[in-house]
Amino acid sequence: MSINRLMEIGKSALFTTQQAISVAGHNIANVNTPGFSRQQVTLVENRPENGSPGQIGTGVHAESIRRAFDSFVEEQLLASRERLGEYTASSNALARLDPLFGDANNLGIGASLNNFFGALQDVATNPNDLSARTVFLSKATTLAGQFNQSSAALTDAQQSIDHQVGQTITDVNQLTSHIADLNTKIANAESSGQQANDLRDERGVALADLAERIKISSIEDATGQVTVFAGRGHVLVDKDRTYQLVGVPDLSNNGLLDVRYDAGAGATTSLGPVIQSGRLKGLLDARDQTIPSLRASLDTLASELVTQVNQQHRLGFGLDGSTNQDFFAPTGTTASTIAVSLTNVRQIAVSSTAVGVPGNNANALALAGLRSTAFAPLGNVTYQDYYSTIAGSFGSTVQGVQSNLQSQQVLHDQLTSQRASVSGVSMDEELANLLQYQRSFEAASRMITTADQLFQDILAMKR
């Protein structure tokens, strides 16, 4: 073996070991980088040369630098991010509605209903007591105010969620543009024989962030570029081209944003009905299903309360002989519009007769009896039972979402651990690799030093 060949072998070992050390250092530097996949150097011996008595090796080179990557685990993580995004959005949205049912603190509609009928019973007990009448009117005003506040809180929550829908649409469009840009960079790098490991990791993070917002599927072509779909085959990314989502105010839904797919040329398609998971799914469910259902139930309760109380109140007589008067404003038959009509406590129709002052308490007892009466519009239950059903149903919904979120978080943590076992960086392993490569570098350096010394010895012999 010639000295030049020995130098070349040492040089190949030196350069290859430097590359391996750089890869190990890159792994260590990114140990805490989200979405980073551990990289591995594949070392291959150089093609040998024919010689005597046989072929002679010519050193080593780094054939490739590959990612430690499991496509099945990555797909499962994407699906997990979709469901985690949905349940997290639902949980946060419903948590904002919890204060509506503050009956444990004697602040909710249920507590106000009890106070309303309790004060009415006190008026029936003392029909001539103006202070009892004043307290009753105050409790009625408080009850109407509770309805009004609950309705306003539902509207505020719906508007807040609608704003989040708009922001999520913006996030989706930004992520798809980023993915399209990475597609181009990956294709350019790999077409020249490079392995775009870090770019692929960056695209994987972007895909995971996109999946958290909307359910997606993707296909990778031979050039390394991905086509990303949302809903039922709606293309979001086609190599370097993107298709946008747009939020269009829906007049049939109080001007709330309808998530639409922009196919170009001014043609848009509503995407809301086919969004199956992700943050958008959780937000839309809370905005368009949970809140409208709660509002409809509260409106039904308010309407039946106004109708029945007014109907009975009109049959009675006040201390001033007034009759046929509504207690609640007859036009306020929703939770947002219910209001007390009477302002004069003497006009509270307690008596069933105008004879004598204050007359009897029969009408007050009839009004108080509404508390325990079942009404068909409420499903043949009382006011309190109907409200308890509303609160109980909402509580069950919240518990279901919380349970789903906790279960999904456990599954996601397990999948994250599986990914870490395949793609994660082990500091112990990388430090061991560094030590091994350091020894190899020292040996290669020694080989070059030895070849140089041999060359110097030959030169000295010629002198």
pLDDT of residue 370: 97
Beta-carbon neighbour count of residue 13 at 10 Å?
21
Q: Give a three-class secondary structure readout of 137-180.
A: HHHHHHHHHHHHHHHHHHHHHHHHHHHHHHHHHHHHHHHHHHHH
Query: What pLDDT, on the 0 to 100 scale, is given for residue 449?
Result: 87
Dump strand ranges (E) for 171-278: 216-220, 226-230, 234-238, 241-242, 245-250, 256-264, 267-270
| Mean pLDDT to the nearest integer, 387-396 | 91
What pLDDT was estimated at residue 462?
67
pLDDT-wise least confident of 5-19, 27-41, 200-214, 445-459: 445-459
The share of the chain scoring above pLDDT 90, in percent, equals 78
Q: CA gyration radius for the chain?
A: 38
Burial 346-366 (b: 16+ CB within 10 A, else e): ebbbbbbeeeeebbbbbbbbb
Mean confidence (pLDDT) of the chain = 92
Neighbours of 73 (CB within 10 A): 17
- Exposed/middle/buried for residue 137 (C-beta within 10 Å: 0-12, 13-18, 19+): buried
Measured CA to CA, the distance from residue 316 to residue 353 in angstroms comes to 7
| Of 350, 342, 356, nearest in space to 318 by CA | 350
In the predicted structure, residue 458 carries a pLDDT above the cut 70: yes
7 pLDDT tier (thresholds 50, 70, 90): confident
pLDDT for residue 115? 94
CA dist., res. 191 & res. 162, Å (int): 44
Strand partners of residue 143: none
Q: What is the pLDDT, as a whole number, of residue 328?
A: 97
Residue 66 pLDDT: 93
Q: What is the rounded CA–CA span in Å between residue 61 and residue 110?
A: 78
- More confidently predicted of 45 and 452: 45
Q: Rounded to a whole number, what is the distance in angstroms from the first to the last CA of the chain? A: 23
The larger pLDDT score, comparing residue 79 to residue 3, is at: 79
Widest CA span in the chain: 146
Q: Per-residue pLDDT tens for 243-287?
A: 999 999 999 999 999 999 998 777 889 998 889 999 999 999 999
For residue 102, pLDDT over 70 is answered with no
94-108, 195-209, 277-291, 404-418: which range is least confident on average?
94-108
Q: What are phi and psi of 92, to 5 degrees?
A: -65, -40
Contact call for residues 354 and 317 (beta carbons, < 8 A): yes
Q: What is the three-class DSSP state of 264?
A: strand
pLDDT of residue 50: 80
Angle (CA) 33-34-40 rounded to 5° is: 65
Compute the average pLDDT of residues 381-401: 93
Determine the pLDDT at residue 201: 96
What is the rounded distance in angstroms from the CA atom of residue 320 to the CA atom of residue 313?
15
Closest CA to 218 of 229, 207, 208: 229
- 147: confidence class by pLDDT, cuts 50, 70, 90: very high
The Cα 367–Cα 125 span in angstroms is 13
SS3 284: helix
In this predicted model, what pLDDT tens digit does every residue of 37-92 receive, in sequence order? 999 999 999 888 887 777 888 889 989 999 999 999 999 999 999 999 999 999 99
What is the pTM assigned to this prediction? 0.88
Distances (CA, A) of 344 to 137, 326, 381: 9, 12, 32
pLDDT at position 53: 79
> CB under 8 Å to 418, separation ≥6 — which residues?
70, 73
> What does the block give as tokens for 96?
């904002």
pLDDT for 1 beyond 60:
no
- Distance from C-alpha of 369 to C-alpha of 27, rounded to nearest angstrom: 76
Helix (H) or strand (E) holding 310: helix 291-313
What is the predicted pLDDT for the residue at 461?
Answer: 78
| Predicted local confidence at residue 330, as pLDDT | 95
Residue 68, Cβ density class (10 Å: 0-12 exposed, 13-18 middle, ≥19 buried): middle
pLDDT given for residue 229 in this prediction: 95
| Model pLDDT, residue 164 | 97
98 vs 399: CA distance, rounded Å = 12
Six token digits for residue 365: 């007892």
Given this model, what pLDDT does residue 104 score? 58
